[in-house]
Amino acid sequence: MTTSGLTVRAPASSANLGAGFDIFGMAVGLHADIGTGDAPDGAQQIDEHHPAREAFALLGGTGPIWLRCNIPMARGLGFSGAVRVAGAALAVCQLAADPTQAVAERSNDILDVTTRLEGHGDNVAASLFGGVTAYVDPEARPFAVGPVLGSARFVAWIPDVTTSTDKSRKTLAPMVDRASAVFNIGRAVQFALAFAHDDPAMLVDATADRLHQSARLPLVPGAAEAIATGVAAGAWCAWLSGSGPTVGMLAGPEVADEVAASLPDGGHTKVLPIDPNGAHLLT
């Protein structure tokens, strides 16, 4: 809390995780803080057109709000999902008799409003609940994340270009063939089983995809190379993060820096933890 207001934090997210298009999400250690009252250093007041403000207003929030955020926009790291979740969560805290319980008590409302605003629930489920999630309409199903995969590092290769998620979705074919559907179902199950067994070996090849990556990867120079190079350097798996342009990968903590160092020019890298917490009131 600031001296005169409330502050809510929500993490960035990587969506799809390969085969789980519009389903899987992973919260990662970059954050959007949104608050009422005095804005701290580095924060900006946000206007009525901002995605966070829309979510805040839809859940009954009133008055000026500010944003402080280290999530890059339009890079496939769930900026819009995180700020919408933080805005919606701030509204329920503002309205609650006990703000400390409000995000948990009204998580269904936050998920519902932010999914409608986003048009898909994968990013917001991860930003709201933390960890690794499956959005199975209309609910979010958090994965159990055991000690081995809980200590994994999310290595991000973040190109200098941006991708509009809305525009990118419109370029995807509306129909998929049965073989591609079967391929993706198998990989998505494999990915979920890797977490159920806390077994990184099962992640190998689990992020292959035939629903969206083949259309999107050619639009990002260096992205296919980043996937191949990261896996060759020791990452268990790699995928196009959300609609891109970022490539995400999971690696053990002992090789994560080496994986990051191997990635091609044309993007900067970050080595981040999986964020286990999701949206919460900062104390």
Residue among 100 and 164 whose Cβ is closer to ligand ATP: 164
77 part of the interface to ligand ATP, by CB under 6 A: yes
- For the bound state, the minimum distance from the C-beta of residue 79 to ligand HSE, rounded and expressed in Å, comes to 9
CA nearest to 89, candidates 224, 225, 279 = 279
Residue among 13 and 36 whose Cβ is closer to ligand HSE: 13
**Two tokens, residue 161:** 């270009």
Residue located via tokens 């994965």: 143
Residue among 169 and 197 whose Cβ is closer to ligand HSE: 169
35 part of the interface to ligand ATP, by CB under 6 A: no
79 part of the interface to ligand ATP, by CB under 6 A: yes
Residue among 35 and 76 whose Cβ is closer to ligand HSE: 76
Q: Provide DSSP, 122-145.
A: HHHHHHHH-SEEEEETTEEEEPP-
121 part of the interface to ligand ATP, by CB under 6 A: no
Q: What is the spatial distance between Cα 208 and Cα 228, in angstroms, rounded to a whole number?
A: 12
Near ligand ATP in 224-283, by CB under 6 A = 242-243
CA atoms within 13 A on the CB side of 72: 22
Residue 164, contacted partner among ligand HSE, ligand ATP, none, CB below 5-8 A by kind = ligand ATP
Contact by Cβ (8 Å): 265, 120: no
Among 25, 35, 76, 248, binds ligand ATP (CB under 6 A): 76
Contact residues toward ligand HSE (CB under 6 A) are 15-16, 21-22, 76, 78, 120, 122-123, 165, 169, 212, 242-243
> 42: alpha, beta or left, given left = phi > 0 and alpha = psi -120 to 50?
left
Contact by Cβ (8 Å): 156, 246: yes
Among 3, 49, 63, 160, binds ligand ATP (CB under 6 A): 49
Q: What is the spatial distance between Cα 93 and Cα 99, in angstroms, rounded to a whole number?
A: 4
Report the DSSP beta bridge partners of residue 27. Answer: 13
Residue 77, contacted partner among ligand HSE, ligand ATP, none, CB below 5-8 A by kind = ligand ATP
**Two tokens, residue 272:** 């981040």
- Sites of contact with ligand ATP (CB under 6 A): 15, 49-51, 73-81, 123, 164-165, 242-243
